[in-house]
């Protein structure tokens, strides 16, 4: 697939990223770096999480075994495509020997319309049928066939005047590549231990989301590939904020188990995170709730996401890594935190250089920086963020790592230092885009 060249450079060679210093300083609003003080959403508790699809991954034997007859582990995968603060496409598919055996949408929405709940016979329902036809086309084919979705008109039928070529197959491609980058979600009788090579020392952030909700956000630190610290920035399900649960409640007990699972990883190699597929081996039962019932695979997905995005806050200076040949085309990616998409980018690559870079989304704490009033503090931040992104125009893709040190090229505005903007958020979004492959 077109994403493989970059993913191979990032994972097989160890995500050797670059940076200069740590720019995780405060913006105008305090962004508590390690503490989780978000407001609570009090709805009905329900941690059994019996989603529409049976997962039952807790009972799998998940020793580190190589996948048989394929590059990817056999089992189910989940990924999403988001844009401008909304999850538009969520996919789940199964692989056996790198052949797609099942595929379905967990989310399909646009412009406030839920395509999966559309009225039968409506135009939206017709679009749903075409999207499902595109996804079902892949069943029985190799994962390499995912790229066929760039040209859905070749196999999706026209419906009531709507051409099969008009559906956005590239959104499905993005979601499926996201799933592959995260690794197997529910393994079939075994999962391979990831081999990241030598990762940069520093702090990493990643998340797992489903059906337009960020459910797990993690932050962890690495030193010599050993996990030295790990915490949740977000832990949420079905309207319940687990990090702000009432002490002694069932939700609070689930929080304890999730934190026990994450704490278990501290002191271990990042390559050992596959153990999270079998949390019952190390998470204690609490008041009748088995440690095996928590969704360790969601933590695994979030930690994989953090690793493939690259170091968020590096410890000291690191050396730029050659990302190799990045295919010409347009790319889209996002950075989110605590159930809020904060940065969405779109850019093109031509002959190994960045061009046509812009923000599709730029927000923090419900403030839309792209719609800020001229002269306001948020407008000044928008100017600085835009300057950081435009700095990359005409530069080689390897220059993305310079975003870790925006003070070197972003001007001060009205007393706000160019060093205080979060260039690492732009970096994370751009790495997400490159990992997903061409849009």
**Structure tokens, 425:** 């958020």
DSSP-derived pairing of the beta strands 86-96 and 329-337: unpaired
pLDDT(337) > 80: yes
Residue 269, C-beta contacts closer than 8 angstroms, at least 6 positions apart: 225, 226, 227
Higher per-residue pLDDT: 2 or 424: 424
pLDDT value at position 274? 96
Higher per-residue pLDDT: 165 or 10: 165
State mean pLDDT over 149-156: 94
pLDDT tens sequence across 160-187: 666 766 799 999 999 999 999 999 999 9
Average per-residue pLDDT for the chain? 85
| Domain residue extents for the chain | 4-24+316-436, 65-187, 202-311
pLDDT interval class at 38 (50, 70, 90): very low
Q: Tell me which fold the domain 202-311 belongs to.
A: Sufe protein. Chain: A (3.90.1010)
Query: Phi and psi (nearest 5°) for 387?
Result: -60, -40
- Exposure b/e, 157-170, CB count within 10 A at least 16 = b: eebeebebeebbbb
pLDDT tens sequence across 364-416: 998 999 999 999 999 999 999 999 999 999 999 999 999 999 989 998 866 66
Beta bridge partners of 93: 77, 103
pLDDT tens sequence across 65-121: 444 567 999 999 999 999 998 999 999 999 999 999 999 999 999 999 999 999 999
Beta bridge partners of 334: 344
Cα separation of the two ends of the chain? 13
pLDDT value at position 69? 60
- Structural contact between residues 229 and 221, judged by C-beta atoms closer than 8 angstroms: yes
pTM: 0.85
State mean pLDDT over 305-323: 88
Residue 31, C-beta contacts closer than 8 angstroms, at least 6 positions apart: 364
Beta strands in 270-390 (DSSP E): 313-314, 317-318, 329-337, 340-350, 353-364, 367-368
How far is it, in rounded angstroms, from Cα 394 to Cα 349? Answer: 9
State mean pLDDT over 19-31: 36
pLDDT value at position 177? 98
Q: In what order do the strands lie in the sheet with 240-241?
A: 240-241, 226-237, 213-223, 202-210, 313-314
State mean pLDDT over 283-304: 85
* SS3 at position 173: helix
- Structural contact between residues 418 and 406, judged by C-beta atoms closer than 8 angstroms: yes
């Amino acid at each position: 697939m077109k994403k493989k060249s970059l993913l191979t450079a990032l994972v097989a060679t160890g995500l050797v990223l670059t940076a200069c210093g740590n720019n995780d300083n405060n913006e105008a609003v305090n962004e508590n770096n390690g503490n989780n003080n978000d407001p609570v959403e009090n709805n009905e508790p329900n941690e059994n999480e019996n989603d529409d699809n049976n997962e039952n991954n807790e009972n799998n034997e998940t020793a580190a075994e190589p996948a048989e007859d394929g590059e990817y582990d056999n089992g189910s995968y989940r990924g999403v495509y988001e844009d401008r603060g909304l999850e538009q496409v969520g996919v789940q598919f199964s692989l056996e020997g790198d052949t797609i055996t099942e595929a379905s949408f967990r989310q399909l929405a646009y412009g406030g319309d839920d395509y999966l709940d559309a009225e039968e016979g409506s135009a939206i329902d017709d679009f749903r049928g075409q999207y499902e036809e595109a996804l079902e086309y892949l069943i029985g084919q190799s994962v390499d066939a995912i790229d066929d979705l760039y040209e859905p008109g070749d196999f999706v039928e026209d419906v009531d005047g709507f051409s099969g070529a008009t559906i956005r197959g590239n959104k499905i491609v993005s979601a499926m590549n996201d799933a592959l980058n995260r690794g197997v979600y529910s393994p079939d009788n075994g999962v391979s231990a990831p081999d990241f090579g030598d990762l940069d020392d520093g702090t990493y952030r990643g998340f797992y989301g489903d059906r337009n909700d960020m459910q797990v956000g993690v932050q962890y630190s690495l030193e010599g590939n050993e996990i030295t610290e790990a915490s949740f920035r977000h832990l949420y399900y079905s309207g319940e904020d687990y990090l702000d649960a009432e002490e002694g409640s069932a939700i609070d007990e689930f929080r304890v188990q999730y934190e026990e699972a994450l704490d278990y990883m501290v002191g271990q190699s990042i390559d050992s995170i596959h153990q999270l597929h079998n949390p019952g081996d190390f998470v204690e039962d609490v008041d009748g709730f088995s440690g095996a019932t928590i969704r360790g695979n969601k933590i695994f997905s979030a930690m994989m996401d953090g690793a493939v995005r690259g170091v968020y806050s590096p410890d000291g200076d690191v050396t730029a890594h050659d990302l190799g040949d990045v295919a010409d085309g347009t790319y889209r990616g996002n950075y989110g935190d605590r159930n809020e998409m904060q940065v969405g980018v779109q850019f093109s690559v031509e002959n190994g250089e960045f061009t046509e870079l812009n923000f599709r989304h730029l927000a923090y704490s419900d403030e839309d920086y792209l719609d800020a009033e001229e002269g306001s503090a948020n407008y000044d931040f928008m100017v600085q963020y835009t300057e950081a992104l435009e700095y990359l125009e005409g530069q080689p893709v390897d220059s993305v790592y310079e975003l870790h040190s925006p003070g070197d090229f972003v001007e001060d505005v009205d007393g706000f230092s160019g060093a205080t903007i979060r260039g690492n958020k732009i970096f994370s979004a751009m790495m997400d885009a490159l990992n997903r492959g061409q849009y």
